[in-house]
Amino acid sequence: MTLKDVLDGTRLEAYLRGKVTDSGRGRQTVFTGFSIDTRTLKRGEIFFALKGPSFDGNDFIPEAFQKGAAAAVCSLEWFRKEGDSLADRLLIPSGDTLASLQELSSFHRRKFKLPLVAVTGTNGKTTTKEMIAACLGQKGKVLKTEGNLNNHIGVPLTLLGLSLEHSTAVLELGMSRRGEIRRLAEIARPSVGVITNVGAAHLRDAGSVDEIVKGKSELGEYVESGGTLVLNADFPQLVKENEKWNLRKITFSLDRPSQFRLKRFTQKGAGYEIEVEDGAAYYVPLLGKGNISNSLAALAVSKLMGISDAEFARAIASMKPMPGRMELEEVGGIRIINDSYNANPVSVSLALETIREIEVRGKKVALLGDMLELGEASGSLHKEIGERAAFLDELYAIGEFSLHIREGAEAKGMPSSRIKTVETREEALNLLKPALASGDLLLIKGSRGMKLEEVFKGLKANRMVNKAKVAK
């Protein structure tokens, strides 16, 4: 990819509001891509020196050039102090390097008229994005968000990967407070917006569920004119908040009136056979009722984009669990659902509902860790989770709010002898090892910061591991 491929030959600094210095050689520089990390930078890429709470990307500019960077976008302050030391390099000083990255990506996105789907929501963003991308991928090459690049840095970097090879794009948009979705949507300019659901998450920053509803609904402000919003009708407040946008609305639901409403589902192995009221029928090879809802969102988008029922069913049947997201494995006869990637009240409740419905020969057990970033509501929300977990045969709670989980479970009648509170992952692992037996089902669930995947790995290391082989 050259500069011409990216910006139609227009000089880069016009969109970065900076001044280019290249020792007066006046030669065309070839760019191969963009980078914000010298550890992964490839020769020929433009390095953006971003600042974070504990790092300054400007400090890595010399290293970026040593690794073959074609140019570096640096801060004005750094350029004035250090620019002369790299006078033979292509430097682009900017008053705000992050804003420059976002501006460049926004300009680049506007060159393409292809359909772009933006997905946000409290839960299910990543899985829904993957489902939609798999479906649309049957019609052509799809640009999609990779990993956790769903924020003010990741979305611009993803958009800069758009090329003429792509027929569609599917982006994931994350938020922790009001205004963030608006900015990401402004950059991405989606033609279709999807809001999977809303619930209590990031309350420390967002403040309330009402603020989260409003924050997620900012997506509609920058959906292109004539575009579509796909909304979860199981959250009436969400539907009402989005009435203000002059856009086509398509709704989906597990049990409310909507265009794509679940008719029935049957658990089969590590997934569900699903029927929708419009006549669609398919198999989702993923556990968790949340994934039924996610599939309905993907179905709505697929229908909108001209994907047939047969094509949709084929794509959804090929889905595999994302690491740490309702990932089922059999460990020495014990079935473990590793859902340790993250947690909030909605996702924990859905995970508990899932294991309540699964038939087992032995015990139903859960290791529940703290749900982080819930602010002042943390205690009461953890107590509510304990109440929902009271049906379990055994409950293990770990973290600062483990006593609140215990309190909730006991309030719903769970004997205290069946509840264990622990302080460390090592303690949890040592208690679980002898307590579990063949035929048991264990759920591991907690926020990212709890790192409960280490308990899962410890259990795997302790026994012979076989991937769960479930007939579809």
> Among the residues of 318-424, which ranges form H helices?
345-357, 378-388, 402-411
State residue 309's pLDDT score.
94
Contact 194, 260 (CB under 8 A): no
User: Which amino acid is located at 258 in the chain?
Assistant: S
Cβ–Cβ contacts within 10 Å for residue 369, how many?
A: 29
Contact 232, 258 (CB under 8 A): no
Contacts of 199 (CB under 8 A, 6+ apart): 122, 123, 209, 212, 344, 345, 346
Cβ–Cβ contacts within 10 Å for residue 225, how many?
A: 7
Q: How far apart are the first and last CA of the chain?
A: 43
Binned at pLDDT 50, 70 and 90, residue 94 comes out as confident
Contacts of 310 (CB under 8 A, 6+ apart): none
Q: Point out the least confidently predicted range of 21-35, 125-139, 390-404.
A: 21-35
Cα 180 versus chain centre, distance: 15
> pLDDT tens digits for 288-345?
889 999 999 999 999 999 999 999 999 999 999 888 889 999 888 999 999 999 899 9
Query: Considering the chain, what is the average pLDDT of its residues?
Result: 89
Contact 174, 123 (CB under 8 A): no
Binned at pLDDT 50, 70 and 90, residue 460 comes out as confident
What is the chain's Cα-based Rg? 24
State residue 467's pLDDT score.
44
Cβ–Cβ contacts within 10 Å for residue 381, how many?
A: 20
Binned at pLDDT 50, 70 and 90, residue 62 comes out as very high
Contact 140, 166 (CB under 8 A): yes
Distance (Å, whole) CA 436 – CA 432: 6
